[in-house]
Amino acid sequence: MSLRASHQQFTNILRRAKHIVVFTGAGVSAESGIPTFRDALTGLWSHFDPSQLATADAFRRDPELVWGWYEWRRMKVMRAVPNAAHEAIAVMAQWVPKLTLITQNVDDLHERAGSEAPIRLHGSLFAPRCSACQRPAVHLEGIPGEPEGGRRMAPPTCSHCGGLIRPGVVWFGEALPEAALSQSFEAARNCDVLISIGTSSLVQPAAEIPFTAAQAGATVVQVNPNPTPLDHLAHFNMRAPSAQLLPALVEETWGGN
Ligand code: OAD
């Protein structure tokens, strides 16, 4: 895919940037076959009720339902592979003096594409911990032939205190990891360019990050096939699927180097 002339201006800004923040949401993994949350028809929240699956109360009420659902999602991610967008972001990091990758995603596709240590705002499907003593735990091996939507599964118990092991993700009503949050806002205040990719920009406090960057004077660009609340603030809105757009953008910006 070739970039339109209006993008030329953006590639110049990118080439000059000393610090780029890449901020990703579920849309960056959509082309790897991982469902987003809020897309009509295909989003997880159009099939599943977050209050029954993504809160600490839900886990207390029905740990087998919640654990089974997250195991189903983890299996889906394990069978998926990074797409051209994840790869383009990893390549971009080699060209820019400093690139900070912040993700709201709980999959591990950025790392598998070669991005080192993204800042994880919403935790990880691969970092379970004890719901009682908070010690980290390890996962059992995958479950073959997982049915669509998962099945009830008893969560393992903690080898230290016997508490139930919970998924290492941030649930609705829970605080985001403090260090990740402060590093993210610090990066947003100190970058030249912030690229928001594949997020509906609806979930706080993460959604505030591009606004903070804009207030501090950064150029904000959005890659998303659909409109979001960030549209009016972004200096550039690139309405395309990220796995199509990002490789072309990286190639046009740094390909001649
Ligand atoms: P959403 O599902 O809210 O939004 C996904 C966005 O990706 C939408 O704006 C889509 O238009 C866009 N999109 C879809 N396909 C795309 C593609 N191929 N390329 C680029 N963009 C595409 O997901 P998030 O914004 O990540 O929270 O959701 C934020 C948080 O809400 C998640 O981290 C999760 C959820 O509840 C937790 O797990 C705590």
* Domain 35-79+124-169 = CATH 3.40.50.300: no
| Sequence-distant contacts of 236-240: CB under 8 A, at least 24 apart | 236/6, 236/7, 236/10, 238/7, 240/1
Q: Is 244 near ligand 1, meaning CB less than 6 Å away?
A: no
For residue 71, give both structure tokens.
């195991």
Q: What is the 11 CA–ligand 1 centroid distance (Å)?
A: 25
Alpha-carbon gap, residue 200 to 105, rounded angstroms: 12
Q: Do domains 1-33+82-122+175-257 and 35-79+124-169 have the same CATH topology?
A: no
Give every CB contact of residue 7 below 8 A, 6+ residues apart in sequence. Answer: 236, 238, 249, 252
- Show which residues are catalytic: 122
Q: What is the 203 CA–ligand 1 centroid distance (Å)?
A: 9
5, pLDDT greater than 80:
no
Q: Is 27 near ligand 1, meaning CB less than 6 Å away?
A: yes
Q: Is 165 near ligand 1, meaning CB less than 6 Å away?
A: no
pLDDT in tens, 126-139: 999 999 999 999 86
Cα 30 off chain centre by: 11
Q: Is 38 near ligand 1, meaning CB less than 6 Å away?
A: yes
Q: Which of 1, 22, 24, 39 to mutate to test the pocket of ligand 1 (most atoms within 8 A of CB)?
A: 39
At 113, the pLDDT band (50, 70, 90 cuts) reads very high
**pLDDT value, residue 39:** 87
Alpha-carbon gap, residue 164 to 155, rounded angstroms: 6
Top CATH class, 1-33+82-122+175-257? alpha beta
141, pLDDT greater than 80:
no
- The domain segmentation of the chain, as residue ranges, is 1-33+82-122+175-257, 35-79+124-169
pLDDT in tens, 83-112: 999 999 999 999 999 999 999 999 999 999
**pLDDT value, residue 101:** 98
Give residue for tokens 């393992």: 156
60, pLDDT greater than 60:
yes
Q: What is the pTM of this model?
A: 0.95
